[in-house]
């Protein structure tokens, strides 16, 4: 037994891995992580770019695929093969948990972040190509992504909602999930237990942006105000996540939700993403130890998992502190730091970062294809 097992058994939080590599699927590394207590995997375009560019394990398949397919189609074939292998490895977790864990996430193309119809079409395509009960298709929580999320849930498809940075957008995501389930019932469904969803709230990037704004505000403050403000660095991300958990607790209760739960509906669990610390001055587990609670997921990169296995603390923390989270957000607002503006900045950066990774990978694969053609 490890601290990862304790995290789930004692506190009801599922530890997932935020990484997917083909060599780990084949050399036993991923199976070893499952044995240590990892219960699911998330991926994104940046993760696949690093995996494909960083190893030669894709070369033989890529060489074969580009004889009959475009570069992008070859990419998606390689991605789906990795997802399929991971789904098989985690299927026992899915089965023994009664469909509660064992999920593998694959994201729609980043170019579709602001294209509702395109996102719907690609999410359907990924679900139909993979056809495994433990796959989650990732859709970003942009304004255009939210109606696509609702549509997919109304069709009984399981979704990982990604790139959530604000409480207001999180509220929209919850509504999309609940109303999507209600639409599924209206279409004749009587058993909702096969529909799963997580809402991925990004954490560390919030502190990176808020800290920058705090430092700017402190420079124009007088007296001790600036020093007091600087003491608030590194606190906004956890505070906002705790408010998100409070909203989750509120929305997944009461008559409206109970009517769906009676038909087997599962709550849409909050998932804490981007939980490695970006600021080396902060504790390495600042975004893990501080957000432990039931019916949640923490998806961690492998380095953070190693840290938690070594010195993580298993204790409920996600709803501690009383009104401190609300007070902190109000204090930041009083000096002109608007969390909605922070979220807009981070969403735009997140979408752009994934698109950049995808475009750079397509160029790298194109270069490789040209080199292979020249060599032949």
Is the residue at 214 inside a domain?
yes
The whole-angstrom separation of Cα 38 and Cα 327 is 35
Task: Tally the C-alpha atoms within 13 A of residue 376's C-alpha that lie toward its C-beta.
Answer: 10
Going by C-alpha positions, the residue among 146, 156, 151 that lies closest to residue 188 is 156
HEC states along 232-273?
CCCCHHHHHHHHHHHHHHHHCCCHHHHHHHCCCCCCCEEEEE
The whole-angstrom separation of Cα 314 and Cα 2 is 11
In a structure prediction context, what are the per-residue pLDDT tens digits for the chain, which is 376 residues long? 999 999 999 999 999 999 999 999 999 999 999 999 999 999 988 888 888 887 788 989 999 999 999 999 999 999 999 999 999 999 999 999 999 999 999 999 999 999 999 999 999 999 999 999 999 999 999 999 999 999 999 999 999 999 999 999 999 999 999 999 999 999 999 999 999 999 999 999 999 999 999 999 999 887 788 899 999 999 999 999 999 999 999 999 999 999 999 999 999 999 999 999 999 999 999 999 999 999 999 999 999 999 999 999 999 999 998 799 999 999 999 999 999 999 999 999 999 999 999 999 999 999 888 887 775 5
Q: What is the pLDDT of residue 375?
A: 59
Q: Are 111 and 358 in contact (CB under 8 A)?
A: yes
Domain region containing 60? 3-367
106 membership: H or E segment, kind and range:
strand 103-107
The whole-angstrom separation of Cα 43 and Cα 299 is 10
Under 8 Å CB-to-CB from 53, ≥6 apart: which residues?
A: 361, 364
R_g of the chain computed on alpha carbons? 21
Is the residue at 157 inside a domain?
yes
Is the residue at 376 inside a domain?
no
Q: What is the pLDDT of residue 321?
A: 83
Q: What is the pLDDT of residue 222?
A: 76
Catalytic, out of 50, 138, 263, 278: 138
The whole-angstrom separation of Cα 138 and Cα 129 is 15
Is the residue at 373 inside a domain?
no
Q: What is the CATH number of the domain that holds 181?
A: 3.20.20.70
Is the residue at 372 inside a domain?
no
Is the residue at 375 inside a domain?
no
What's the pTM?
A: 0.95
Is the residue at 339 inside a domain?
yes
Q: At what angle do helices 324-334 and 236-251 cross, to 10 degrees?
A: 120
Going by C-alpha positions, the residue among 78, 22, 16 that lies closest to residue 41 is 16
132 labelled catalytic: no
Is the residue at 58 inside a domain?
yes
Name the domain count of the chain: 1
Angle at 344 (CA atoms; ends 166, 358), nearest 5 degrees: 105
């Amino acid at each position: 037994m490890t601290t990862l097992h304790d995290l789930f058994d004692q506190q009801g939080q599922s530890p997932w891995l935020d990484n997917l590599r083909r060599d780990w699927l084949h050399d036993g590394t991923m199976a070893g992580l499952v044995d240590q207590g990892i219960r699911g995997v998330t991926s994104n375009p940046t993760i696949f770019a690093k995996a494909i560019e960083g190893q030669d394990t894709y070369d033989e398949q890529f060489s074969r695929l580009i004889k009959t397919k475009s570069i992008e189609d070859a990419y998606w074939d390689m991605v789906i093969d990795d997802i399929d292998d991971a789904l098989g490895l985690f299927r026992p977790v899915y089965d023994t948990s009664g469909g509660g864990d064992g999920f593998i996430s694959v994201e729609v193309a980043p170019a579709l972040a602001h294209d509702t119809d395109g996102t719907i079409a690609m999410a359907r395509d990924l679900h139909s190509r993979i056809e495994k009960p433990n796959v989650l298709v990732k859709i970003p929580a942009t304004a255009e992504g939210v109606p696509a999320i609702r549509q997919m849930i109304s069709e009984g498809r399981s979704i990982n909602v990604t790139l959530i940075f604000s409480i207001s957008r999180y509220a929209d995501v919850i509504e999309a999930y609940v109303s999507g389930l209600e639409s599924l019932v209206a279409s004749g469904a009587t058993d909702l237990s096969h529909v799963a969803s997580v809402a991925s709230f990004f954490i560390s990037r919030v502190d990176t942006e808020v800290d920058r704004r705090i430092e700017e505000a402190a420079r124009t403050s007088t007296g001790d105000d600036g020093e007091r403000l600087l003491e608030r660095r590194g606190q906004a991300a956890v505070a906002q996540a705790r408010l998100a958990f409070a909203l989750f607790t509120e929305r997944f209760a009461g008559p409206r939700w109970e009517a769906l739960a009676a038909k087997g509906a599962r709550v849409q669990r909050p998932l804490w993403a981007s939980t490695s610390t970006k600021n080396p001055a902060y504790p390495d587990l600042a975004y893990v130890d501080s957000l432990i609670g039931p019916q949640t997921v923490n998806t961690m990169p492998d380095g953070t998992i190693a840290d938690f296995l070594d010195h993580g603390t298993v204790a409920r923390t996600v709803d501690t502190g009383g009104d401190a989270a609300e007070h902190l957000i109000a204090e930041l607002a009083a000096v002109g730091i608007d969390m909605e503006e922070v979220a807009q900045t981070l969403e735009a950066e997140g979408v752009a970062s994934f698109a950049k990774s995808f475009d750079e990978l397509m160029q790298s694969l194109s270069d490789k294809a040209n080199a292979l053609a020249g060599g032949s």
